[in-house]
Amino acid sequence: MLQLYLPIAEMSVNALVMLAMGAAVGVLAGMFGVGGGFLVTPLLMFSGIPPAVAVATGANQIVALSFTGAFAQWRRNNVDMRMGVVLLLGGAVGSTAGVLLVRWLRNQGQIDTFVSLAYVFFLGTIGLLMLAESARAMHRTRAGKPPITRTPGQHHWVHGLPFKMRFPRSKLYISAIPPLLIGMVAGILAAMMGTGGGFLLVPAMIYLLRMPTSVVIGTSQLQIIFVAAIATLLHAVFNQTVDIMLAVLLMIGGVVGVQIGVRAGQKLRGEQLRLLLALLVLAVCLRLLLQLMIKPQELYDLVPPAGIL
C-alpha cells in the first residue's frame, strides 16, 4: 500500500499513514495555534523513524504549518509583530543553546530520559494551570456572570520589571525581559524536543504576559516559523537528519489539517478550546510519565555511538 522509501531515514513507510499523521498534527496546529511538534515527534518515533530524523523532520513540517497559520492570522491583523521580534531574539539564543545541550546529553546517553522528563514537567504544569483556569471560566459563564477580561490597572509582578516597551497591538506596556526569557525557554525546548515551543508560548503569553487571546495564536505562530526554521537548518547542517521526502508528506497532510482545525476552532469558545488543549496536554504528559515509571519490557536500547550525532 503506497510504500515509499525515505532516503535519509533509510527505511520504507506507508505514504498514507504519514499523510494522516501530518493531518492530525495540522488539525491541532490550526485549532490551538500550537505547532503540533510535541505530537509529531513522538508519533514519528512510534512509527519507527529514528529519533534524530523524527526531531529534525518534525521541525521542517512545523515551518510549513506555522507559516500557513501565521499568514492567515496576519491577514486578519492578529499578529503582534513587535512582540514577535522580541520573542524571536530570545528564541534564537535559546535554540542555539538547546542544540549544544542536545549534543552533550546525547553523548551521555540521557537525551531520551531528559526529553521525557522535560515534557512531563512542562506539560504537567501547563496542563494543570490551563485546566483549572478554563474550568473556572466555564463555570462562571454557566452561572451567567460575564467572563473576566483584563481589568485595567491590575498589576502583576511582570509589570514591575525594567526596560519597559510598548506593544500597541497587544495593548501592553511591559518590560522586554519576560518575553525575551519566554522566547529563550521556548527556543531551548524547540531544539531539544523537536517542537516549535508553541505549547509553552501560548499559555505563557496568555497567563504571564496577559496578551489578548486573539493576538496570541498569530504571534506564537510567527515565532514558531523562525524557531523551527533555525532548528531545521541546524539539524540539516550538523546532523544531516532532515528527510525532505517525509517532510513533504507531513506538510501536505498538515496544511489540509490546519484548515480543518481553524474551522473547528472558530466554532468553539475560547474556554472550551483551552479546556480541550489542557486535556490533550495532560494526556501526553501522563503517557510519558507512565513510560518512565513502569518497568520497560526491553531494558536495552541501541543508539548510534556518541560523537556521530
Partner 1 sequence: MRAAALCFMALLSAWSLEARGQPSEDLQADVSAREIAIESNFTGHHVVVFGAVENYPRYASPARSYDVIVVIRGPADSFTAWRKRKTAGIWLNRDARDFRDVPGFYATLSTRPVEQIAPRAILEQHRIGFANVNFGPPPRGVPASRDAAFRGALVRLLAEENLYQSKLYGVTFVGGGLFRASIDLPANVPIGQFRADVYLFKESNLIASAESRFSIGKAGFERFMTRLATEDPVVYGLAALLVAFGIGLAAALMARE
Residue 190 vs 247, nearer CB to partner 1: 247
CA dist 93 and 101 (Å) reads 12
DSSP class of residue 170 equals: G
CA dist 249 and 47 (Å) reads 14
Stretch 38-67: interaction string toward partner 1, x if CB under 8 A:
----------------------xx-xxxxx
Residue 183 vs 253, nearer CB to partner 1: 253
| Residue 191: closest CA among 104, 278, 279 | 104
Residue 91 vs 179, nearer CB to partner 1: 91
For the CB of residue 93, give the shortest distance to partner 1 in the complex, in Å: 20
Q: How many CB atoms lie within 10 A of CB 218?
A: 25
Q: Per rule CB under 8 A, is residue 143 in the interface with partner 1?
A: no
CA dist 66 and 307 (Å) reads 32
Residue range at the interface with partner 1 (CB under 8 A); choices 122-130, 146-154, 201-209, 245-253 = 245-253
CA dist 216 and 231 (Å) reads 22
Handedness of CA 261, 222, 127, 232 (dihedral sign): positive
CA dist 23 and 257 (Å) reads 4
Q: What stretches of 194-269 show up as alpha helix (H) in DSSP?
A: 198-203, 213-234, 244-267
For the CB of residue 290, give the shortest distance to partner 1 in the complex, in Å: 11
Q: How many CB atoms lie within 10 A of CB 158?
A: 15
Q: Per rule CB under 8 A, is residue 118 in the interface with partner 1?
A: no
Which position among 7, 121, 147, 166 is part of the footprint of partner 1 (CB under 8 A)? 7
For the CB of residue 150, give the shortest distance to partner 1 in the complex, in Å: 30
Residue range at the interface with partner 1 (CB under 8 A); choices 142-150, 168-176, 196-204, 256-264 = 256-264
The answer to whether residues 106 and 308 touch, using CB atoms and an 8 Å cutoff, is no
Q: What is the dihedral of CA 21, 26, 29, 32, to 10 degrees?
A: -90
Handedness of CA 221, 216, 88, 97 (dihedral sign): negative
Which position among 16, 17, 101, 117 is part of the footprint of partner 1 (CB under 8 A)? 117
CA dist 119 and 243 (Å) reads 24
Q: Which residues of 105-228 form beta strands (DSSP E)?
A: 164-167, 172-175
Residue range at the interface with partner 1 (CB under 8 A); choices 36-44, 70-78, 84-92, 187-195 = 70-78
Stretch 177-216: interaction string toward partner 1, x if CB under 8 A:
----------------------------------------
Which position among 10, 104, 139, 166 is part of the footprint of partner 1 (CB under 8 A)? 10
Residue 18 vs 182, nearer CB to partner 1: 18
142 alpha carbon, distance to own chain's centre = 31
Contact positions with partner 1 (CB under 8 A) in 74-93:
75
Residue 73 vs 134, nearer CB to partner 1: 73
Q: Per rule CB under 8 A, is residue 17 in the interface with partner 1?
A: no
Which residues are near partner 1 by CB under 8 A?
Answer: 3-5, 7-8, 10-12, 60-61, 63-68, 71-72, 75, 109-110, 112-113, 117, 229, 232-233, 235-238, 240, 242, 244-245, 247-248, 251-252, 255-256, 258-259, 262, 292-296, 298-306, 308
